[in-house]
Amino acid sequence: MNLKKDLTSFLKSAKKPLIVVLGPTASSKTGLSLDIAEELNGEIISADSRQVYRGMEIAVDTIMPEERRGIPHHMIGIVEPDEEFTLANYKKLALQKIEEIHDRGKTPIIVGGTGLYISTITEGYNVPQIPPDKKLREKLEREAEEKGKKHVHEKLEKLDPEAAKNIHPNNLRYVIRAIEKTREKAKVKKSVPKFDMFLIGINWPREELYERINKRVDKQIERGLVEEVKKLLQKGYDEKLPSMSSLGVKEIIPYIKGKMSLDECAEILKKNTRNYAKRQMTWWRKRQIPQKVNVVSGDNLP
């Protein structure tokens, strides 16, 4: 495919254009989106559930201001690590940004690997703003104490087998949050998307993608990942916060506490990131996205 030609043709006919660049972590979404934004007078909207937090830019591989080529970026570093940020929050703010970009006569480009964030825009999810269910959390925590964590995990298996496969029974906080999310999902409805969309998916051979991930982790450590996580802990952010469970944060904490070597933590981070990339690819293969995804081989990217 000739991506530049196809995008130019798309923009000629689109009334409310929206370009979406999706793919697994370390697939070069950022570089491709910058090239597209430069070529087509675009602005970039992050669809990464961890890049919304401040203070963990290295851990979540946020593009730094000096690397943005003067292109406006949105939905990056907008909340503190201890602030709650939901899918409903994301949808509301992202739609506002898309409208503002259109009003400026420019092209919005959504970039990311968080499937639900992208789907809430591309598939028109109507997402209710549901507060945390504290009573449910307390009830499940009591059950875990009385009957064991496996008992609570079995509940998740019945409600959402796919989520249960990806969460270890001992990770009680994740299991409880996943159960809570099943109630949210039941209230989510679809509506007709309001944009003309052009979706671009980046595809790498698995081994090449995994090698890119390994190299990126090494670079993150060189850039000061350990110091960044230390600062988060020094500021008093609880390890149990959703933000602190981000890849690149939770894996480094055992080293800072003297429980593991840095090499051991780095290898765990590489493994966890590879597993995350695998889950991302599985997610997109299973999604019934109504628009055709234009697949670009990572080997062909500049």
Q: Tens digit of pLDDT per residue, the chain (302 long)? A: 689 899 999 999 999 999 999 999 999 999 999 999 999 999 999 999 999 999 999 999 999 999 999 999 999 999 999 998 888 899 999 999 999 999 999 999 999 988 889 988 988 766 655 566 788 888 999 999 999 999 999 998 888 876 677 677 887 877 887 787 776 555 555 555 689 999 999 989 999 999 999 999 999 999 999 999 999 999 999 998 889 989 999 999 999 999 999 999 999 999 999 999 998 888 777 764 544 678 787 766 75
Close Cβ partners of 251 (under 8 Å, ≥ 6 residues apart) = 265, 266, 268, 269, 272
Residue 283 in domain: no
Q: What is the pLDDT of residues 116-144, one digit of tens each?
A: 899 889 887 666 555 667 888 889 999 99
Last residue of a domain, one of 153, 186, 219: 186
Domain boundaries, position 161? 134-186
Predicted pLDDT of residue 188: 54
Do 26 and 119 lie in one domain? The reply is: yes
And the tokens for 273?
């990131």
Do 55 and 196 lie in one domain? The reply is: yes
CA dihedral sign of residues 240, 246, 249, 255: positive
Residue 32 in domain: yes
Q: Work out how many domains the chain is built from and give that number.
A: 3
Strand partners, 108: 43
126 phi-psi bin (left φ>0, alpha ψ -120 to 50, beta other): beta
Do 8 and 73 lie in one domain? The reply is: yes
